[in-house]
Amino acid sequence: MELVTPSIGLVFWTTISFLLLLFILGKFAWKPIMKALDDRERSIEDALSAAEKAKEELSRLNNESEQLLKQARAERDQILKEAKELRDGMVADAKGLAQTEANKLIDKAKVEIDNQKNAALAEVKAQVATLSIEIAEKVLRNQLDDKSKQESLVADLLKEVKLG
């Protein structure tokens, strides 16, 4: 039983050793350990708050980038719309100008065709007149060569002329 029940001296010296150990640990170990734990806890809290701030900043930046992206898309769409309107306007102007030029060329061609036609008609008339005169001249020469034909022609002309 002596092993189960310690003697008073043992309890006394064990208590003194324990208190001395507590004092030494409190003086040299507990304060630095507690300080290190507090510093570690503070650094963890700082890191968590920094992470939270970074998360909030990232969220804000994501929102800003989404807004900028939407704005850029809207600007791109507006620029494309303006470019399309400008292109359509230029095409319409070019078509109008081409139509006007085509109409001018057609009108000019019509005038030129009329001029050529009138010139051709005038030339044909001149040639017909020349041919008619030549034919009449040849016919008259044939008829006037013969004396009896001349008298017959004069008689026919006198018959046609009626004295009123």
Q: How far apart are CA 68 and CA 22, in angstroms?
A: 64
Weakly modelled stretches of the chain, pLDDT under 70: 1-3, 138-139, 142-145, 150, 161-164
- pLDDT value of position 125: 81
Residue 2: which H helix or E strand, with range? none
Enter the pTM of the model: 0.41
- Compute the Cα dihedral for 8, 9, 14, 15 and give only its sign: positive
- pLDDT value of position 49: 95
Question: Where do the domains of the chain lie?
Answer: 8-117
The amino acid present at 94, given as its one-letter code, is A
- pLDDT value of position 2: 63
- pLDDT value of position 164: 47
Residue 28: which H helix or E strand, with range? none
Q: CA-CA-CA-CA torsion for 148, 150, 156, 162, nearest 10 degrees? A: -130
**Angle, CA 55 vertex, CA 53 and CA 61 arms, to 5°:** 100
